[in-house]
């Protein structure tokens, strides 16, 4: 991988989709589609359907979910972050995350960033620098800080998650 490619994977760009507090795994992956849990691509067509009926049809690769507190609360459905990632979401930004959802997201390679989301509106264009801990809200011409991700975390995320990282590196080599 060239240094240029490495730099590009630290910068994320996309449009924001704003949600409120307490977005549960039931809202992310509605229970009525439980029969699709073995076909995650099909289940991803219904991601966040109960919070925004049109989300799955509007989200484009690289876009961001922006939420309030306690994102991902509820059951430990590991397919909830997986279908968010499969839908093309580049990262989830929230004031706080449910612990299991946060861990599952990292394990599957979905960036989850804890930050103040009050100054981000639905539809804002964002640029996120994972290494510097900066969110540039291009729409509003403001910057929002978050705790920068360590290089080891960026590498794990770029590899696609924990399992992919271990497979690629024939062990846990960070």
Q: What is the pLDDT of residues 85-106, one digit of tens each?
A: 999 999 999 999 999 999 999 9
With bands split at pLDDT 50, 70 and 90, how would you rate the model's confidence at 161? Answer: confident
The stretch 144-162 carries a mean pLDDT of: 88
- Is the distance from CB of 90 to CB of 71 less than 8 angstroms? no
The stretch 29-35 carries a mean pLDDT of: 92
CA-based nearest residue to 85, from 66, 58, 67, 112: 112
pTM over 0.85: yes
d(CA 71, CA 59): 18
Structure tokens at 137: 């809200």
pLDDT at 174: 56
- Evaluate if residue 107 carries a pLDDT over 60: yes
Distance of CA 62 to the CA centre of its chain: 9
The stretch 114-136 carries a mean pLDDT of: 97
**Average pLDDT over all residues of the chain:** 90
- Is the distance from CB of 133 to CB of 150 less than 8 angstroms? no
**CATH code matching the domain that covers 3-166, chosen among 3.50.50.60, 3.40.630.10, 3.20.19.10, 3.90.105.10:** 3.20.19.10
């Amino acid at each position: 991988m060239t240094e240029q490619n490495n730099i590009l994977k630290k910068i994320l760009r996309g449009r924001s989709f704003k949600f409120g507090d307490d977005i549960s795994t039931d809202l992310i992956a509605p229970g009525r589609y439980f029969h699709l849990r073995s076909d995650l691509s099909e289940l991803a067509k219904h991601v966040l359907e109960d919070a925004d009926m049109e989300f799955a049809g509007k989200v484009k690769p690289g876009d961001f979910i922006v939420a309030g507190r306690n994102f991902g609360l509820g059951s430990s459905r590991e397919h909830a972050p997986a279908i968010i990632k499969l839908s093309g979401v580049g990262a989830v930004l929230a004031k706080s995350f449910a612990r299991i959802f946060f861990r599952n997201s990292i394990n599957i390679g979905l960036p989850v960033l804890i930050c103040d989301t009050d100054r981000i509106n639905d539809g804002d264009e964002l640029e996120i620098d994972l290494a510097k801990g900066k969110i540039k809200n291009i729409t509003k011409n403001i910057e929002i800080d978050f705790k920068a991700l360590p290089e080891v975390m960026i590498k794990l995320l770029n590899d696609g998650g924990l399992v992919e990282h271990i497979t690629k590196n024939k062990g846990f080599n960070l």
